[in-house]
Structure 1
Amino acid sequence: MDAATSPRHGARAYAVYVVIGLFAGLLSGLFGVGGGTIIVPLLVLMLHFDQRRAAGTSLAAIVPTAAVGVISYAASGSVAWVPAIILAVGAVVGAQIGTRLLPRISQTALRWGFVGFLVVVIASLFLVIPSRDAAFDLTWWSGLALVVVGIGTGILAGLIGVGGGVIVVPVLMLAFGTSDLVAKGTSLLMMIPTAVSGTVGNLRHRNVDVLAAAVIGVSACTTTALGAWLATIIDPAFGNMLFAAYLVIIAAQMAMKAIRGRQR
């Protein structure tokens, strides 16, 4: 099958890449997530990517998307730079641990456990409304806690392919008392070195459609700043409700994978 007839190339495919990128970029800026939970399933369903190549392509597209998001949040002072670096270092280490543990741990049990975690987070988002004036107080203890969160995030990413923003944003808000905007900006900064590291490995194993990643990434960059701007004008309580709705979708996706895995 040549490039002209492949479902991953041609006018229809590029149009789909653009639409996916626009949608993923908006969600990335609005929620401080990478957008992989949107990109991967759409690539698989609409363009028949296999799961591994879809994940690799998504991770590559996240790099420019997250960079634009960081710039947008940094413009309003909503990025905790040092905590983001600590989280990123922990996540890179944790991802290596997760990939090594992958053959030894039940994927079904992990997915149901993550669904349970999301249910607790969703309920908490309706009870704890972050203050926009809250600042991140970095101490030795909070720094150590960030390392633990980063490693845990990386392990889950390596085990079940969950993006860091889905974990880091609610944890920073609920456990560290960070404002929702700082949590999102910090999450996006944390993703960049993690995504670059993962993309280098995926390129070596040819798990990236470079052209698709470029089109999706560039398209996403055009709406990421819009999403970040919307996050600043939305009331924090309403922002929590929107984020909770997004997490419900993620939990439903993970539950469906767990059910399918158990059936197999």
Structure 2
Amino acid sequence: MTRSSAERTAPAAAPRASPGALIVLGLIAGFLSGLFGIGGGIIVVPALLMLGYDQRRAAGTSIAAILPTSIVGTVGYALTGHIDWIAGIALAVGVIAGAQIGSYLLARLSRPALFWSFLVFLVFSAASLWLNVPSRDDSIAITVWTALALVGAGIITGILAGVLGVGGGIIVVPALMFFFGASDLIAKGTSLFMMIPGSISATFGNLRRGNVDLRGGMFLGIAACLASPLGILTATSLTPLWSNIAFSALIAAITVQLVVRNLRRR
């Protein structure tokens, strides 16, 4: 085989975004992580797609970057007393198992299926925020049945997190408020705590399948850690209603942008 033909048949190198772009993206994701109790995947995954990543690699890199962000966010919410540790542990047990299933599916689902699943997921998450606007005094009543339900919710969250590249907060925060009676701040703090083992589990699974850009995840994660505390301070100053309005507006903007971009590409 000649050199020119070998070059034509060689696989394309995986995309590597510039450190500057990744740092800016990480700062934005970190602020939103602290503000909404999410891992930032709803920002990171679409942005990485725009930077040339495919859906699988964007999802895997996003879930890896969530680990340092969730640790910093957990510490911040713990200092203000807004974490239900028992609920977080129950969720984490389910997330660890579910994340392995999700990373397995990530390597096997088609790219169009992943793309449209992500969009449907965003719309559903925005709608679920308005099923219940909680009070700041609400808390989770832990019973045996509640604990089992939290484990089940964690399994579902882990599967979706592994497939879509989100930390699961966009699922857990509305679920804790609507189904388990948590306040918005407790839901956010508990969600970030739950993401720590979920991110570790999903990242190991994605590493085995080559669906992670560790360099990109490092830049994203470190930058996000710097901005997360500011997001937490902002969250405590917003009312639950305005927090829901801001979150819904964010999801709507991302959804419209992704649909337009996909239609133009076609």
Spell out the pairing of 1:26-65 with structure 2 (5 A cutoff): 26-46=31-51, 48-65=52-69
- Provide the C-alpha distance between the structure 2 equivalents of 1:139 and 1:218, rounded to a whole number of angstroms: 37
Q: Is the contact made by 1:107 and 1:160 (CA closer than 8 Å) also made in structure 2?
A: no
- Provide the C-alpha distance between the structure 2 equivalents of 1:199 and 1:75, rounded to a whole number of angstroms: 27
Cα offset, 1:94, TM superposition: 2.4
- Provide the C-alpha distance between the structure 2 equivalents of 1:173 and 1:254, rounded to a whole number of angstroms: 28
Q: Please, what is the CA RMSD of the aligned residues?
A: 3.1
Q: Is the contact made by 2:157 and 2:171 (CA closer than 8 Å) also made in structure 1?
A: yes
> Bigger CA drift: 26-35 or 155-164?
155-164
Which residue of structure 1 lines up, in the alignment, with residue 93 of structure 2?
A: 89
- Please give the per-residue CA displacement for 1:193-252, whole angstroms capped at 9, x wherever unaligned: 010111122233333222221111111111001001110111222112112223334655
1:167 maps onto 2:171 in alignment: yes
TM-score, normalised to structure 2, is 0.81
Q: Is the contact made by 1:14 and 1:215 (CA closer than 8 Å) also made in structure 2?
A: yes
> Bigger CA drift: 220-229 or 48-57?
48-57
Inter-CA distance 88–221: structure 2 relative to 1 (3 Å threshold) = same
Inter-CA distance 251–137: structure 2 relative to 1 (3 Å threshold) = farther
AA matched with 2:210: R
Q: Is the contact made by 1:121 and 1:170 (CA closer than 8 Å) also made in structure 2?
A: yes
Count of matched residue positions in the alignment of Structure 1 and Structure 2? 250
- Provide the C-alpha distance between the structure 1 equivalents of 2:216 and 2:117, rounded to a whole number of angstroms: 30
Inter-CA distance 117–74: structure 2 relative to 1 (3 Å threshold) = same
AA matched with 2:185: L
1:144 maps onto 2:144 in alignment: no
> Bigger CA drift: 75-84 or 201-210?
201-210
AA matched with 1:182: I
- Provide the C-alpha distance between the structure 1 equivalents of 2:157 and 2:188, rounded to a whole number of angstroms: 15
Which residue of structure 2 lines up, in the alignment, with residue 117 of structure 1?
A: 124
Inter-CA distance 207–115: structure 2 relative to 1 (3 Å threshold) = closer
- Provide the C-alpha distance between the structure 2 equivalents of 1:53 and 1:111, rounded to a whole number of angstroms: 14
Which residue of structure 1 lines up, in the alignment, with residue 3 of structure 2?
A: none
- Provide the C-alpha distance between the structure 1 equivalents of 2:175 and 2:153, rounded to a whole number of angstroms: 8
AA matched with 2:149: A
- Provide the C-alpha distance between the structure 2 equivalents of 1:256 and 1:171, rounded to a whole number of angstroms: 29
- Provide the C-alpha distance between the structure 2 equivalents of 1:137 and 1:107, rounded to a whole number of angstroms: 38
Q: Is the contact made by 2:29 and 2:224 (CA closer than 8 Å) also made in structure 1?
A: yes
1:21 maps onto 2:21 in alignment: no
> Bigger CA drift: 104-113 or 130-139?
104-113
- Provide the C-alpha distance between the structure 2 equivalents of 1:195 and 1:71, rounded to a whole number of angstroms: 16
Q: Is the contact made by 2:100 and 2:201 (CA closer than 8 Å) also made in structure 1?
A: no
Q: Is the contact made by 1:28 and 1:65 (CA closer than 8 Å) also made in structure 2?
A: yes
Query: Quick one: percent identity of the two aligned structures?
Result: 49
1:8 maps onto 2:12 in alignment: no
- Provide the C-alpha distance between the structure 2 equivalents of 1:39 and 1:212, rounded to a whole number of angstroms: 11
- Please give the per-residue CA displacement for 1:158-208, whole angstroms capped at 9, x wherever unaligned: 454454111100011111110100100110111110101111222333332
Match of 2:212 among 208, 227, 244: 208
> Bigger CA drift: 109-118 or 156-165?
109-118
Question: Helix, strand or coil for the counterpart of 1:89?
Answer: helix
Cα offset, 1:139, TM superposition: 0.8
1:224 maps onto 2:215 in alignment: no
